[in-house]
Amino acid sequence: MKRAIFPGSFDPITLGHFDIIARGVTLFDELIIAIGVNADKKYMFTLEERKNFIEECFKDNPKIKVVTYEGLTVDFCQKNNVDFILRGLRNPADFEFEKAIAHTNRDLAPIETVFLLTAASTSYISSSIVRDVIRNNGDYTKLVPKPVRVK
């Protein structure tokens, strides 16, 4: 069984994330959306809200599982028999950053990283941009899946 994780903070999940997940799930038998918990990071949405957003987006896809985790991604992979990490690339800066992480992960454990390029239509979207639009009362709904709504 080919299992992969797509790790991130997903604060919130964007249409870019959605695109990578929808395309990535076709490559694996199971795709685990793994929401990393970082105590030093200040989030706009609670962990429960972020998990609910993602679960609602993919509720009809039995190949997708949503979990939370703390610690190193490769440790999570080893504890859960996951051989692949899925990552999306929007631009050359993402590639350089993700390449360094992928090399480090491979040094730590026998885990392969699989990169998918984001769709051109979503390549400009980031969670930080979405949060800024929300903070400034802009129309963020064009940037996120339907389940992501501010109360």
Domain extents in the chain: 3-148
Mean pLDDT on 98-108: 96
The DSSP letter of residue 44 is S
Q: Which residue do the tokens 């039995």 mark? A: 62
Q: Which residue do the tokens 């957003």 mark? A: 53
pTM of the model: 0.93
Give tens-digit pLDDT for 92-102. Answer: 999 999 999 99
Computed over every residue of the chain, the mean pLDDT equals 96
Burial of 70 (C-beta count, 10 Å sphere; 0-12/13-18/19+): exposed
- Cα 109 to Cα 5, 77, 82, 88, 137, distances in angstroms: 15, 9, 11, 21, 43
**41 annotated ligand binder:** yes
Mean pLDDT on 17-41: 95
Q: Which residue do the tokens 């390449």 mark? A: 99
**87 annotated ligand binder:** yes
For residue 40, what pLDDT is reported? 82
CA dihedral (80, 126, 87, 15) positive or negative = positive
Q: Maximum Cα–Cα distance for the chain, whole Å?
A: 45
For residue 71, what pLDDT is reported? 94
For residue 38, what pLDDT is reported? 84
Q: Are 114 and 27 in contact (CB under 8 A)?
A: yes
Q: Which residues are catalytic?
A: 17, 41, 90, 127
Six-digit token string for 79: 């504890």
Give tens-digit pLDDT for 50-74. Answer: 999 999 999 999 999 999 999 999 9
Give tens-digit pLDDT for 37-55. Answer: 987 889 999 999 999 999 9
**32 annotated ligand binder:** no
**68 annotated ligand binder:** no
Q: Which CATH class is domain 3-148?
A: alpha beta
Helices (H), 29-141: 47-57, 73-79, 92-108, 127-135
**128 annotated ligand binder:** yes
Mean pLDDT on 1-23: 97
Q: Which amino acid is at 19?
A: D
Mean pLDDT on 87-115: 95
Return the percentage of the chain with pLDDT > 90, whole number.
Answer: 95
For residue 51, what pLDDT is reported? 98
Q: Which residue do the tokens 């985790």 mark? A: 69
Six-digit token string for 127: 């969670």
